[in-house]
Amino acid sequence: MRSLKAALIIAALCAMPAGVRAQPSGPLPQGQVNFVVPLAAGGPLDAAARVMAEKVGARIGRTIIVENKTGAGGNIGAASVARSKPDGLTWLFTIDTVLTVNPHIYASQGFSPEKDLIPVARIGYNLQILAVNARNVPAKTFAELLAASKTRDLSFASAGVGSPGHLAFEYLRMATGMRGVHVPYRGAAPALQDLVGGSVDAAFVTAGAILPHVDTGALRPLAVSGRERAAQLPDVPTAHEVGVTDFEARTGNFLLAPAGVDPAIRAFLAARIEEAMQDGDLKRQLQKLAIEPVFSGEKEAIGFLAADREKWGKVIAAAGIKATP
C-alpha cells in the first residue's frame, strides 16, 4: 500500500511542469508569507506583485498573500514593512520612487530607506513614452516638438507632483531647455483621459497605457525614456537616438526586506525570483503590464537605487518639487 501511495505521489510530481514544481521552503520560517504593496490595488504595481506572488509561491511551496497598504505616496506601506519583524515572512514589493524620490520630497517618511530596508531583487523596469495629442500638436518628431515649445508653452500632464511622469518632464526640461507647463492630476487615469481628449498637449505615459490610443491615432509617441526601445512600440526612437543623450527616466519594481532578515533567507528568495523570471508565461504577463522582465540581484539592486536616489535628488532640487499635502 505504501509503495502504491509513493508511486502515485511521484507520478503526480512528474506530471507537473518542471518550472512550477515547488522547491523546499529552505530557510524560510513557518508562517504566512506576505508581499506588501504600498500602492492601490488594481494598478500595474499591484498586478505585477500578484503575478510574482503566484510564480514564486509555486517555487517555495507556499501561498504568498499580496497586501495593499496605501498612503503618503507609498510611505505608509513601506514603513509598515520596515517596522515588521525581520523573520523573512514580510516583504515590500514596490516601485522604486518610494525609495528614490520620496526621500527628497517628504519631510519624513516614517523610516529610513537606506537603513531600515534591504533591497533583495529588482524585478523588471518600466519605460515611459513621451506622447502628444495628435490634434493639438502637429509635431511628428521630437525635434519638431522641441521647436514648437520655443513658440508656445506646451502643457504636460502627469499623475501628480513627484510622479514618474512629472519627474521625467522636469528632467527633459533640464536636458533640452524645452518649455512647458506641468499639469498635475490625481492619478494616471484622469491625466491620460485629458491627454486623449486634448485638454493637455503631452505627457510621459507607460507603453501599455497609450497603445490603444496610438492605434486609434489620438496619441502620437515621439520618444522612449530609456536607452532601449520599448518592445510594445519598436518603431519609436529612444531619447538617446533623437539626440538627448543625457536623459533616462525609467522606474523599476523592487523586492525589499526589513533590515535584520537573515542573509540566507534573502538569498533563498532572490534565487526563487530569478528562477521565476525565466518562466515564459511570467515574462509575457509582465510585458502585458509594460514591464521589461529583467532580474537583478541584491548587489545590483542596491546600486540601482543609490544611483537613482542621487539623480532624482538633483532633478527635484533644481525644479523645487515638494510633496502636496
- Please report which confidence band the pLDDT of residue 24 belongs to, taking 50, 70 and 90 as the band edges: low
DSSP 140: -
- Residue 257's SS3 state is strand
CB 240 within 8 A of CB 226: no
Mean pLDDT, residues 186-199 taken together: 92
**Could you tell me the sign of the dihedral formed by the alpha carbons of 50, 166, 256, 59, in that order?**
positive
Cell numbers given for 231:
518592445
Q: Which of 87-91, 108-112, 160-164 has the least mean pLDDT?
A: 160-164
How many angstroms separate the CA atoms of 229 and 244, rounded? Answer: 14
51-55, 63-67, 230-234, 237-241: range with lowest mean pLDDT: 230-234
What's the CA gap between 78 and 84, in Å, rounded? 10
pLDDT tens, residue by residue, 98-148: 999 999 999 899 999 999 999 999 999 988 999 999 999 999 999 999 999
The domains found in the chain, sorted by start residue, are 27-126+251-319 (3.40.190.150), 132-224 (3.40.190.10)
- Write down the pTM of the prediction: 0.84
Mean pLDDT (the chain) is: 89
Which grid coordinates belong to 209?
Answer: 497605457
Residue 86 pLDDT more than 70? yes
pLDDT level of residue 8 (50, 70, 90 thresholds): very low
